[in-house]
Structure 1
Amino acid sequence: MKNVSILVPETAVIEAVADPHYMFKAVNQFLQVAGKEPLFNVQLVGLSKEIKLDNCVFSVHTDALLKDVKKTDLIFIPAVSGNMEKAIELNKGLLPWIVEQYNNGSEVASLCVGAFLLAATGLLKGKKCSTHWNMTNDFRTMFPEVELVDGSIITEEQGIYSSGGATSYWNLLLYLVEKYTDRDTAILASKYFAIDIDRDSQSSFMMFQGQKEHEDAEIITTQEFIENNYQEKITVDELADMVAVGRRSFERRFKKATNNTVVEYIQRVKIEAAKRKFESSLKNINQVMYDVGYTDTKAFRTVFKKITGLTPIEYRNKYNKPAVN
């Protein structure tokens, strides 16, 4: 029997508490129907017997207090809401227990922005991690020692798991079901919950929001220029000259400020514009390509797929239904 401990932090997102509970309880039922013994002892665990969530709309009653759970096999850290620094402060009492259990052999999985609580334990230092695409700038600012993997649905390193944004944590749940049971059980669960079992990227859902939460005024000037002139061919030399900074120094400062090279930033701005055009217009691939400043079809398709995980036509068909009809 594997002990699964689902933490119930203050300000937890209720779905991120209920969904892993539902998944692993359902897998126990699948196993029983197949004539096998249930595998998981699933418990909601917290610092108190009752945790009120979402401005007291929900009340969660834990099965056990942290101090009473001496040994567990798998810990889930759900997403939390609101300001992440405040959420960490509210839940700092959970962190030593997570570290202790991990050091005693437990595996740990964060769901969506639960990665902030996981990182606050120090267990992610020097390791890979994924979180919601919309929170990547905040995460990098707060935890520069963690290697954040953009666009990833699942990361795994030394018994520590993390998932991408929002409902993509269902893919991590399936991944762990397969690890602890077998492929057939995971496929059954994927069909039951209607989840694409092999989805491994949140890239197609990401909306690029230029990283401007820094204090380098010259770099902000060039970022704004790129965003306002993405239809044009923009060169690194042109941008460096604009702010009277040497090219090498400019490239170094740009990368430090934005976590992108200049070329990567230009590409991401252009592709973000292309995504919006595919979503809201009936223009064909070539028209959109020219609109965002590309003249080479192969180059456009290659960059688009690298950033979104989909080809331009796949993206248009997925997010613009009128264009398909």
Structure 2
Amino acid sequence: MKSISILVPNSAVMEAVADPRYMFTAANQFLQAVGKAPLFEVQLVGATKDVKLHDGAFSVHTDKLMKDVEKTDLIVIPALFGDMKQAVEVNKEAIPWLVDKYNEGTEIASLCVGAFLLASTGLLEGKRCSTHWAFANEFRETFPDVELVDGSIITEEHRLYSSGGANSYWNLLLYLLEKYTDRDTAILAAKYFAIDIDRESQSAFMMFNGQKDHNDPEVKKAQDFIEDNSAERISVDQLVDMFAVSRRSFERRFKKATNNTIVEYIQRVKVEAAKRSFEKSRKNINEVMYDVGYTDTKAFRTVFKRITGLTPIEYRNKYYKEPVLV
């Protein structure tokens, strides 16, 4: 039997507690249906017997207290809700427990922004990690020694697993299910739960809002200029001339402040403008391309797919629907 311990922290997202429990208990039923023995012993674990969630709207009754868990194969850390620093603080009792269990050989998987609690243990230092794209900047600032993998759905390193944003954690659960059972069981679960198995990127869902939580005023002015002129062709030299600084120095400052090179930032701003156009208008690909300052169709398609994971036409088909006439 594989022992699965689902941590029930304070400030947890209720669905991120219930869904892994549902997945692994259903997997037992799938295995039994084909004549195999159930594999998973699933338990809810917490600091107290009852954990109130979402301002008391839900109450989760745990099966075991953390201190009573002698051995477990996998700990699942669900997504947290609200202010991440506060959410970690109210769950600091779990940090030494997670470290102790990991040192005993337990694997740990964080779902979505549960990565903040996992990273607070120090176990991720020098390692790669995934989390919700909307919290990427905050995560980097809080844990500069962790390598955050942009847009990734699943990251695995040294018995530590993490997933991308929101429902991406289902893909991590499927990944773990396949690891512990086999491909056929994972495919069955994917069909049962209607999950797109093997999805590798959350890029198609990401919205680029710029990274302006820094203290470099000239970089902020450059960001504003790029965003206000997304329809124009902007060069690095043009920006450097505006601020009368050396190119090498400004590129270094820009990268440090935004975690993007200047060229990457320009591309992401233009692609974000193109995405909004595809979502809301009936303009064709070339019209949108010209609107965001591209004249080379191949270059536009290449950049768009690298950033979103989809071609322009695939993105339009995914998000644009003809208005319904009443």
Question: 1:234 Cα deviation (Å)?
Answer: 0.6
In structure 2, what is the equivalent of residue 136 of structure 1?
136
For 2:240 and 2:59, the matched residues in 1 are separated by: 55
For normalisation by structure 1, the TM-score amounts to 0.99
Once the two structures are TM-superposed, the CA of residue 243 in structure 1 deviates from its matched residue by 1.9
Q: 1:149-198 CA distances to partner (integer Å, 9 max, x unpaired)?
A: 01000000111100000001000000000000000000000000000111
Mapped pair 1:194 → 2:194: yes
Structure 2 residue aligned with 1:145: 145
Q: How does 1:78-117 map to 2 (within 5 A)?
A: 78-117=78-117
Partner of 2:322: helix, strand, or coil? Answer: helix
In structure 1, how many angstroms separate the alpha carbons of the residues matched to 2:24 and 2:194? 15
Distance (whole Å) between structure 2 residues aligned to residue 37 and residue 188 of structure 1: 16
> Counterparts of 1:8 and 1:244 in 2: how far apart (Å)?
54
**Under a length normalisation based on structure 2, what TM-score does the superposition of the two structures give?**
0.98
How far apart, CA to CA, are the structure 1 residues paired with 2:90 and 2:55?
A: 15
* Partner AA of 2:320 in structure 1: N
Write out per-residue CA displacement over residues 127-161 of structure 1, whole angstroms, 9 at most, x where no aligned residue. 11010000000000000100000100000011110
Distance 2:180 2:117 in 1: 24
Classify the secondary structure of the residue corresponding to 1:59. Answer: strand
Sequence identity of aligned pairs in percent? Answer: 73
Q: Which runs of 5+ in 2 are unaligned?
A: none
Aligned to 1:19: 19
For the residues of structure 2 that align with 1:158 and 1:115, how far apart are their CA atoms? 15
Match of 1:265 in 2: 265
In 1, the alpha carbon distance for the partners of 2:99 and 2:197 equals 30
Aligned partner letter, 1:55: D
Mapping 1:275-314, distance limit 5 Å:
275-314=275-314
CA RMSD of aligned residues (A): 0.7
Structure 2 CA distance, aligned partners of 1:253 and 1:311? 32
Query: What is the distance in 1 between the residues matched to 2:245 and 2:53?
Result: 50
CA offsets 1:87-131 (integer angstroms, 9 cap, x no match)? 111000001111111111111000000000000000100111010
Alpha-carbon shift at residue 42 of structure 1 (Å)? 0.3
CA distance in 2, matches of 1:41, 1:96: 23
Residues 41-74 of structure 1: per-residue CA shift (max 9 Å, x gap): 0000000000000010000000000000011100
Shift of 1:207: 0.2
Offset of 1:302 from its aligned partner? 0.3
> Do residues 249 (structure 1) and 249 (structure 2) align?
yes
Deviation at 1:244, TM superposition (A): 2.1
Q: Which residue of 2 aligns with 1:184?
A: 184
SS in 2 for 1:321: coil
Which whole-Å CA distance do the structure 1 matches of 2:158 and 2:102 have between them? Answer: 10
1: distance between equivalents of 2:242 and 2:76?
49
Equivalent AA in structure 1 for residue 232 of structure 2: E
Whichever residue aligns with residue 120 of structure 1, its letter is S
Counterpart Cα distance in 1 of 2:322 and 2:123: 47
SS state at 1:260 partner: coil
3-state SS of the aligned residue for 2:234?
coil
Q: Which amino acid aligns with 2:47?
A: L
CA distance in 2, matches of 1:24, 1:220: 47
